[in-house]
Amino acid sequence: MTEINTDKLAEAFVSALAIDAAEVNDELAYSQHPKWDSTAHMVLVAEIEAAFGIMLDTDDIIDMSSFAKAKEIVAKY
Amino acid sequence: MHFYSSQYIQQIAQNTTSHIIDGKTGVQLNYAEFDKTVSQVETVFQLLFEQQGKCLVAIESDNSLNCLVVYFALLRSQHCLLLLESGQDKLKQQQIIQNYQINLLLDKSLINSLLAASAEAHSTKQSLIQQLPLKFLPTQTIHPDIKLLLTTSGSTGSCKYVKLTADNLQANCQSICQYLQLTANDSVVTTLPMFYSFGLSVIHTHIASGSQLVLSNSTPMDKNLWALLKQYQPTCLYGVPFFYQMLLRLGLKRLPLQSLRLFAQAGGRLDNSLILQLHEYIQQQNDGSCHKQLFIMYGQTEATARMAYLQPDKLPEKVGYIGQAIPGGEFKLVNDLADHADNQGSSIQSTQAGELYYRGGNVSLGLAQNRQMLEQVEKTEWLATGDLAELDAEGDYKIIGRLKRFIKIVGKRINLDEVEAWLSQSNLARNLTEQAQILASGEDDKLVLVMAGKLAANHLEQIQHPLIQYATELLSVHASYLRVVHIEQLPLTANHKVDYNKLKQQVLYAN
């Protein structure tokens, strides 16, 4: 697995979910955090794609249910 | 005979082998079992409300089988129902409970206990009833015709509810069943919450037609929704514009949509480009053995949900049209001369523009904001939609603008006047100089908070962040739909009122 820029990924989460940098950790999970709903998820996908210059697959968008999972997924591209 | 009555459901049960299924627990009931379960809960309510007048019962609703059973049991009672969003902000909920003097609030755990006790002996029911204290007694009178209260605005903090009758629900349900040609062979997985009029109409119509109904709260971003679609192979799919945006983003071709015969969209305007993409996908799928259709629909909670739909075969030519009134409904265009001296509206005959008015059995009894407003009803024949429309030679309508100052963000209706009122009462406004004020403007999915007037140095930078934070929390919308714009001079009309049209043009295209 390639190393990814975790800071860049964390920045995408902070901006898309409108949360504090301190709240971004591996436990941060979709529909668990009040700010991470389906609307924020769409914004997050767009932010990640722009930040890393990638296009996420359908399955990856749906699978990306935590910050830890997002790191794994982005590393595949 | 109403679609929720025991007599009707029993009749449906004779003609269908379908089930009503809780997508989360997997529990399923056939229509005869569903009717029996509803009847059992009815008896608990009869014991509870013995010797009471018409009460107001609120349900913290989610798309679950237990919630649906309790909802049906209450529809069959003489009482009035109000559907609350589950997971709603507790302060907002408390405000609604106070304003409406809600006599009984049923949350998830009470709903589950009700279901459990309903199948037990009389003594168990009695002991449950002890735990369900009725509040605000003796109750203030509720008009006998009001059956259900539904929110107009999603969860924007507004306390406005639409007053609906049993006949409104029936008219809306019948009309939709007719034009979508729903049958017992149809099947649906719910994709909209039941406290929302569109979501509720999906549940009503599929029960009235004896379809397979799978209850779920999942969104397209949840794996679970796609698992349910694969498992239950629904024939019908319903969504608001944002739902279809998500589907298109995920990629239609890679989603398990093969079993569908019908895609339906309502709850705000879907971009023409997205309608065309959906249409194109459907055309590609259609061959001899498969015939999928896309229904673009139009409505308001004030008309119980639905007023118009566009015949699917009129796409792609009539993209952007709402089509014609639903069966049992009728439209007219009125040229509003309110700004002129005579103050009389006049109907326009042919291809001109005017405010769209609707009449039909689904037009509600008006809006309420508190318990007092449930004593009275306003019977308006023609509902003013607040939308400007034009009519073409083939009788199809197209929305070309809006008279009322509201926008939709992700399908949630937001009244700009209300936003302005909340902002002006906030602490943020108190810190402004006397020459400055905060206004709300924008269009769908773009709310612009306008700081108007002279600001102290750096004030815009200081206030921008807290203002957006305040508004996103107040309206429960994502910050990416909001912007703050500063203008020195407010555009005014001839009679020195804010010219909201000019303001909108000015701020929408400002940097």
Residues of B in contact with A58 (CB under 8 A): 250-251, 254-255
What span, in angstroms and rounded, lies between the C-alpha atoms of B142 and B314?
45
d(CA B166, CA B171): 9
Q: Are B307 and B298 in contact (CB under 8 A)?
A: yes
DSSP one-letter code for B103: S
Residue B117 CA to residue B95 CA, distance in Å, equals 30
Other Cβ atoms closer than 10 A to B497: 9
Distance from CA of B287 to the nearest CA of A (A): 25
Taking 60 as the threshold, does the pLDDT of residue B343 lie above it? no
Sign for the CA dihedral angle at A35, A40, A45, A51 comes to negative
In chain B, how long is the greatest CA-to-CA distance?
74
Rounded Cα distance between B211 and B205, Å, is 9
User: What topology does CATH give the domain A6-76?
Assistant: 1.10.1200
Q: Which residues of A touch B246 (CB under 8 A)?
A: 38, 42
B341 reaches A (C-beta below 8 A): no
A44 — alpha (psi -120 to 50), left (phi > 0) or beta?
alpha
- B255 — contact with chain A (CB < 8 Å)? yes
Strand partners for B352: none
Can you say whether residue B407 is alpha, beta or left, with left for phi > 0 and alpha for psi between -120 and 50 degrees?
beta
pLDDT of residue B414: 86
| Inter-chain Cβ pairs, chain A and chain B, closer than 8 A | 41
Comparing A37 with B233, the larger pLDDT belongs to: B233
DSSP three-state, residue B434:
coil
**Predicted confidence band at B345 (pLDDT cuts at 50, 70, 90)?**
very low
The pair of structure tokens assigned to B65 is: 């089988």
**Contact (CB, 8 A) for B72 and B1:** no
Average pLDDT in the B65-83 region? 97
pLDDT (0 to 100) of residue A2 = 62
Going by C-alpha positions, the residue among A16, A22, A18 that lies closest to residue B465 is A18
DSSP B170: H
Would you say how long chain B is, in residues?
511
Q: Which two tokens stand for residue B300?
A: 């308001």
- Residue in A closest to B469 by C-alpha: A18
Tens of pLDDT, residue by residue, chain A (77 residues): 567 889 999 999 999 998 999 999 999 999 889 889 888 898 899 999 999 999 999 999 999 999 999 999 999 98
Cβ within 8 Å, pair B245-A42: yes
* Token pair 């940097």 in the structure block, residue: B511
pLDDT (0 to 100) of residue B153: 64
Of A30, A61, A65, the CB nearest to B250: A61
Element at B389 (helix H, strand E): strand B383-391
Give start and end residues of each alpha helix (H) in B87-165: 90-100, 108-118, 122-130
- What is the spatial distance between Cα B71 and Cα B75, in angstroms, rounded to a whole number? 6
- The three-class DSSP label of residue B394 is coil
Q: Which of B139, B162, B53, B67 is nearest to B110 (CA)?
A: B67
Distance from CA of B22 to the nearest CA of A (A): 20
Run of H or E including B332: strand B329-335
Q: What is the pLDDT of residues B414-469, one digit of tens each?
A: 888 888 888 887 877 777 766 678 899 998 889 999 988 887 778 888 888 888 98
Residue B115 in 3-state DSSP?
Answer: helix
Domains annotated for chain B, with CATH where assigned, are 6-402 (3.40.50.12780), 407-508 (3.30.300.30)
B136 touches chain A (CB under 8 A): no
- Per-residue pLDDT, B188: 98
Question: Scanning the structure block, which residue is given the tokens 């309508």?
Answer: B397
Render pLDDT for B93-131 as a digit per residue (tens, 0 to 9): 999 999 999 999 999 999 999 999 999 998 999 999 988
Contact B251 A58 (CB under 8 A): yes
Residues B492 and B498: their CA atoms lie apart, in Å, by 5
Maximum Cα–Cα distance for chain A, whole Å?
A: 31
The two beta strands, B329-335 and B346-347, are: antiparallel
Cis peptide before B138 (omega within 30 of 0): yes
Q: Which residues are bridge partners to B406 per DSSP?
A: B415
> Which of B192, B191, B100, B206 has the alpha carbon at shortest distance from B154?
B192
**Least CA distance to B227: which residue of chain A?**
A62
Identity of the residue in A40, A59, A61 whose CB atom sits nearest the CB atom of B478:
A40
pLDDT confidence tier of residue B51, bands split at 50, 70 and 90 = confident
CB atoms within 10 A of CB B424: 14
Q: What is the per-residue pLDDT across B350-370, written as a single tens digit (0 to 9) for each?
A: 457 899 999 999 999 999 999
User: For residue B474, is pLDDT > 90?
Assistant: no
Phi-psi region of B320 (alpha: psi -120 to 50; beta: other; left: phi over 0): left
Interface probe for A, chosen from B24, B218, B409, B480 (most Cβ of A below 10 Å), is B480
- Out of A43, A45, A58, whose CB is closest to B480? A43
* List of chain A residues whose C-beta atoms are within 8 Å of the C-beta of residue B223: 62-63, 65
Quick one: DSSP state of residue B303? G
CA dihedral over B495, B497, B503, B505, signed as positive or negative:
negative
pLDDT per residue over B130-179, tens digit each? 888 899 988 889 999 999 999 986 545 568 899 999 999 999 999 999 99
Whether residue B42 contacts residue B72, with contact meaning beta carbons closer than 8 Å, is answered with no
B164, B149 Cβ separation under 8 angstroms = yes
**pTM of the shown model:** 0.87
**E strand or H helix at A73, and its extent?**
helix A67-76
**Residue B339 binned pLDDT confidence (cut-offs 50, 70, 90):** very low
Closest residue in A to B479 (Cα–Cα): A18
Instruction: Take residue B205 and report the two structure tokens written for it.
Output: 């119509």
If pLDDT is split at 50, 70 and 90, which confidence band does B302 have?
Answer: very high
| Yes or no, beta carbons of B254 and A45 under 8 Å apart | no
Q: What pLDDT is attached to residue B336?
A: 56
* CA-based nearest distance A4→chain B, Å: 24
Q: Is pLDDT above 90 for B297?
A: yes
| Chain A contact for B477 (CB, 8 A cutoff) | yes
Residues 6+ apart with CB under 8 A from A67: A9, A10, A13, A24, A25, A26, A27, A28, A29
Residue B338 has pLDDT above 60, yes or no: no
In this prediction, residue B511 carries a pLDDT of 58
- pLDDT for B83 beyond 80: yes
Please give the distance of CA A35 from its chain centroid, rounded to a whole number. Answer: 13
User: Tell me, what DSSP letter sits at residue B106?
Assistant: E
Q: Is it the case that residue B78 has pLDDT exceeding 50? A: yes
B219 touches chain A (CB under 8 A): yes
Is B16 part of the contact surface with chain A (CB cutoff 8 Å)?
no
pLDDT score of B425: 78
Partners of B269 in beta bridges: none
B165 three-class SS:
coil
Residue B211 has pLDDT above 90, yes or no: yes
- What average pLDDT score do residues B318-336 get? 93
Q: Which of A13, A20, A39 to probe the B interface (max B CBs under 10 A)?
A: A39
Is the CB of residue B249 less than 8 Å away from at least one CB of chain A? yes
Phi, psi of A12 (to 5 degrees): -60, -40
